[in-house]
Structure 1
Amino acid sequence: MTEQEGLTVKKSENFPEFYTQLIQKADLADYSKVKGCMVIKPNAYHIWEQIQDYFNSRLKKLEVKNAYFPLFIPESFFQKEAEHAQGFSPEVAWIANTEEGERLAIRPTSETVMYDSYSKWIRSHNDLPFKMNQWCNIIRWESLATKPFIRTREFLWQEGHCVYETEKETDKETLTYLEEYQKLCQDLLALPTLTGKKSDKEKFAGAKYTLSIESIMPDGKALQMGTSHNLGQGFARSFNISYLDRKEKKQIPWQNSWGISTRLIGALAMLHSDDKGLILPPKVAFSQLVIVPILFKDTQAKVLKKCKDLEKKLKKHNPILDDRNYSPGWKFNEWELKGVPIRLEIGPKDLEKSQVVLVRRDNNNKTPVKFSNLTKEIDKTLEDIQISLFKKAEIEMKEKIHKTNAFEDFRHIIKGKKVALAPWCGTIKCEEKIKDKTIGAKSLNIPFNQPPKIGKCFHCSKKAKHLTYFGKSY
């Protein structure tokens, strides 16, 4: 691989350019002719498929069923829930000329179109809880600068929408789905998260409250990676969703909605990468190992035969045997760029010793491993890489969080590209002033675990309600 084919900037020196190069050169995505849209390439789509498989298995245990609803949503549906419509109006793409006689929105989210159907399907308490999910594409006509996976006009996501008899049950399950997202990020993607409740200013339009998972990227900006909303009874009233209770009385149910998107792939690329390229967590890697033969004319046939034998033996890891006519160094660089977790090097001297050289992508450690012990060692190494990636990312995230009680200190934290944890009064007016004075810093979320005594708001000096994470975000 030539120098220009690899990354030409350092992650620590020019992170925006580093990320742009990484996404393209590691074969995750490419730009489209349509502004703000991208092509998701197979290596990245494989990650999305692993997310789908993992989460679908969790949904089955939670008795959530998958379905699919239309991409096009009548404008009148949005008008039924005023706060929701107002919150999304700047981002909605419209089809103006329709046979229906009204504009059709191209799905920015599916509450309205799904709840119109729910109003027909839910009749009795026997129909509850009603739990449905869909995997689909979303269109939000962003006017802000776009970035592959992080902010695009079209992206993929899942959105779950449930209906319950009681507020208590809704509260419980709204938290359950957030916890599922946290587990997915940790166990599958090796991504650490901050869990908590969104401020009133930052909550989902039309929701009673919003819970979120956030993480902190290498440039100090936070990234919202999943949300779970308690929608209260507002949408049910707006869309005439009701049921007959056990006493045959008409009741209004409670609802929640929750979602994650392909933004998770962007978070993974930002956090699990270095100046050589991507570092894929083994559980989502398109291939867990690459076999690179070290070839010389007189031993080429023997080495290749052994490599092919290993390729068959290690089939469960979806191995790549790279026997192309390039130098070993060129191949090493390419697979390091693409993030394959393990590289196995085999040359004539290794054959003589009945071994391979196992190289870890995450820390570049090289270990000679006997053929007889290879399967066990690969399994052990993959497990260790998965754990190590999470621990490293968690340490780096915690190092970026600074506690403060004073606004001037808060300013320095934000200027230093860090995240602040500060006592805050919780009012929208105070948050707006904080954002204005810091050119963009906002509340990320409010941690669930709070100390018994909090003190005064770091900004307005009124009584603080809770410690809150603040920072700039994508």
Structure 2
Amino acid sequence: MDEVEAKVAEVELAADAGEKAPVAKKEKPKKEKPAKKEKAPQAAGDGKKEVKETQLGISAKKDDNFSLWYSQVVTHGEMIEYYDVSGCYILRPWSYAMWESIKDFFDAEIKKLGVKNAYFPLFVSEKALIKEKDHVEGFAPEVAWVTRSGNSELEEPIAVRPTSETVMYPIFSKWIRSHRDLPLKLNQWCNVVRWEFKDPTPFIRSREFLWQEGHTAFATKPEADEEVLAILELYRRVYEEVLAVPVIKGIKSELEKFAGGLYTTTVEAFIRNTGRGIQGATSHCLGQNFAKMFEIYFLNDNRERKMVWQNSWGLTTRTIGVMVMVHGDDKGLVLPPRVAPVQVVIIHIPSKDIETNVLIESCKEIAKELRDAGVRVEEDYRDNYKPGWKFSNWEMKGVPLRIEIGPKDVASKQVKVVRRDDGGKDFISVENIGDSIKNLLDVVQKSMLEKATRERDSCIVQARSWDEFMAALNNKKLVMAPWCDEKEVEEQVKERTKADLSGAAKTLCMPFEQPELPEGTVCFSSGKPAKKWALWGRSY
């Protein structure tokens, strides 16, 4: 049994391929209450409706008022601008550059796997959307519909894609005829719309967001299984290698899996200040359910007509919000070097002991050496701000390293370097400064992941009883608990925790790395024989 089969078997993902998907009842659309217009965050205690543009610092404390702190960080840090449609945000160049870094990394990796980029339309016909009943039932409350063009009512409502299975798979059925057409591996970078009713949060939960969605088709299930885990590993690398955010890989429960799919794998992150888990990205094996619905067949070597096996997988701009929540501090953003739009900012320290133009020329020479070494550099020569103000400004934007150059530094042919992540300061010779700074950036990247991992691991608690489970949750922890793997029990846990917590607890995943489960271990909630360990928690 290979690694893929072992992992799938380990978490007991067998599904009845012949089971008929339930038919969703067609309900009258609910009238949405007018959403309150979102405003720019209010600084604590300033008595104003909006933050003044002259206010530089973050007034809220991460440990005291996390929600206000987060709002201030993403606005003061020039990541987003609020918009007049609730739940939609303008991504400013600072945050969009981060998305481009994520995109560049992931896009290069999936192309190594033979995935090709394409683009499919934004709109979905009602006929296509409702074809797979179980799938649409999962998304129905969030689907936005276009019902009118100008003053004319459309003959048939058109949905704005919440995801693209029902957009792409009718076309797959045209393109796939023979085993020679397989595997078909497509990805698109696009936006989707999910008209959620929950409180909007920039990057974390918005009505329109950017993502990539991969859709692939294979001749056999083992091929599909192998890709599911390959993509999941790439998602882990995005979080841990690019964003310095530790994640846990695992499989979703039947209750939490992708609607209409066979099984869902996930990477789960953790926000220490709120004690909540957060789904980082998912890689789904869709099985043959969609192939059956959309008649995606191929002729094998023996001229036998077979259904394809399909996967879908997606990563969104939520990645940016998770990174901000994990690494940010009371001064603002703290950016890992690999995703930072600017890795080094150079600031000169004016002095009567040296002419300003001489100081600036020294800064420019160092900036050129760093750029030649492949470092992303910004030079701040603004003369209407003092150096201290500039320090705070760039700290708030999260730039990993600050280089300060004054008259003594020019004379001694060295620079002062200040780390954003831990405040560490050192003097570095200008000789071979490109290599020195690149090495330091690698140290910062590694240090940030190690710190975040320590903090995350300290918040994972094993619980074998209901009392231990509740105590851990109320202490803002993730809980690893033995579970009987029954949907009804998970639903009961959700209901029982609603009264005790600001949000129900649920399974986040069954981690691939399972602790030992001694014989005779019982489920923490039902008392029935436990089949596996599950990671539980409140979630965004």
Q: What's the TM-score, normalizing by structure 1?
A: 0.98
Whether the 8 Å contact between 1:413 and 1:419 is mirrored in structure 2 is yes
Alignment counterpart, residue 136 of structure 2, candidates 67, 85, 90: 85
Do structure 1's residue 319 and structure 2's residue 377 form an aligned pair? yes
**Post-superposition CA distance 1:296-342 (Å, at most 9, x none):** 24512221111121122222323111111211110000000001111
Corresponding residue of 1:329: 388
- Identify the residue that residue 23 of structure 1 maps to in structure 2: 74
Query: Match for residue 20 of structure 2?
Result: none
Listed as ranges, the matches of 1:177-196 within 5 Å are: 177-196=231-250
Taking the aligned partners of 2:53 and 2:196, their CA distance within structure 1 comes to 36
1:116 & 1:324 partners in 2: Cα distance? 56
Shift of 1:32: 0.7
1:4 aligned partner: 55
**Number of the residue aligned with 1:113:** 167
Q: Aligned pair in 2 of structure 1 residues 64, 296: CA closer, same or farther (>3 Å)?
A: same
Mapped to 1, the partners of 2:449 and 2:512 lie a distance apart of: 22
Q: Which residue of 2 aligns with 1:355?
A: 414
Q: How far apart are the structure 1 equivalents of 2:376 and 2:254?
A: 47
1:281 maps to 336
- Kept in 2: contact 1:287–1:320 (CA 8 A): yes
Worse-superposed segment, 314-323 or 45-54: 314-323
Q: CA deviation at 1:4?
A: 3.5
Q: Pick which of 447-456 and 377-386 moved more.
A: 447-456
Kindly state the Cα deviation for residue 449 of structure 1 after the two structures are TM-superposed.
2.7
1:345-372 deviation per Cα after TM superposition (whole angstroms, max 9, x unaligned): 0111111211110111111111111111
* Cross-structure match for 1:418: 477
1:154-205 deviations in whole A, cap 9, x for unaligned?
Answer: 0000000110111111111111111111112111111110110000100000
What secondary structure is seen at the aligned counterpart in 1 of 2:156? coil
Distance 2:484 2:85 in 1: 43
What secondary structure does 2:214 align onto?
Answer: strand
Contact in 2 for aligned 1:132/1:161 (Cα 8 Å): yes
Aligned pair 1:443/2:507, yes or no?
Answer: yes
How has the CA–CA distance of structure 1 residues 234 and 100 changed in structure 2, closer, same or farther, with 3 Å as cutoff? farther
The alpha carbon displacement at 1:397 in A equals: 0.8
User: Could you tell me how far apart the structure 1 residues matched to 2:235 and 2:428 are?
Assistant: 37
Q: How far apart are the structure 1 equivalents of 2:464 and 2:353?
A: 71
Point out the structure with the larger helix share. 1
- Which position in structure 2 is the counterpart of 1:228? 283
Aligned counterparts of 1:124 and 1:376: Cα–Cα separation in 2: 53
1:190–1:386: 8 Å Cα contact kept in structure 2? yes
Match of 1:305 in 2: 361
1:38 is aligned to 89
Q: 1:421 to 1:3 in 2, by over 3 A?
A: farther
Which residue type is aligned with residue 53 of structure 1?
Answer: D
> Post-superposition shift, 1:38?
0.5
The amino acid across from 1:110 in the alignment is: S
TM-score calculated relative to the size of structure 2: 0.86
Match of 2:98 in 1: 47
CA offset digits 1:357-405 (Å, max 9, x no partner): 0111111111111111422220111000010111111111111110010
Matches within 5 A, 1:372-411: 372-411=431-470
Deviation at 1:275, TM superposition (A): 1.1
Contact 2:415–2:428 under 8 Å retained in 1:
yes
Q: Distance in 2 between matches of 1:340 and 1:274?
A: 13
Q: Does 1:200 align with 2:251?
A: no
Identity %: 45
User: 1:76 — aligned with what?
Assistant: 127
**Structure 1: which amino acid aligns with 2:376?**
N
Deviation at 1:97, TM superposition (A): 3.2
For 2:474 and 2:214, the matched residues in 1 are separated by: 37
Residue of structure 2 equivalent to 1:461: 527
How many residue pairs get aligned? The number is 474
2:210 match: 156
Gaps of 5+ in 2: 1-51, 499-503
1:216 aligns with 2:270: yes
**Rounded Cα–Cα distance in structure 1 between residues aligned with 2:125 and 2:532:** 41
The Cα shift of 1:3 comes to 9.1
CA drift of 1:100 comes to 6.8
Superposed CA deviations along residues 210-244 of structure 1, whole A, max 9, x for unmatched, are 00001101221111010011111000000011001
Structure 1: give runs of 5+ residues left out of the alignment: none
Counterpart-to-counterpart distance in 2, 1:61 and 1:312: 33
Q: How far apart, in 2, do the equivalents of 1:97 and 1:243 lie?
A: 39
Does the 8 A contact of 2:517 with 2:533 survive in 1?
no
2: CA distance, partners of 1:250 / 1:101: 37
Mapped contact 2:369–2:433 kept (Cα < 8 A): no
Q: 1:104 aligns with which of 138, 158, 162?
A: 158
Give the secondary structure class of the aligned counterpart of 2:148. Answer: coil
CA–CA distance in structure 2, aligned partners of residues 307 and 201 of structure 1: 58
CA contact (8 A) 1:414 1:438 kept: no
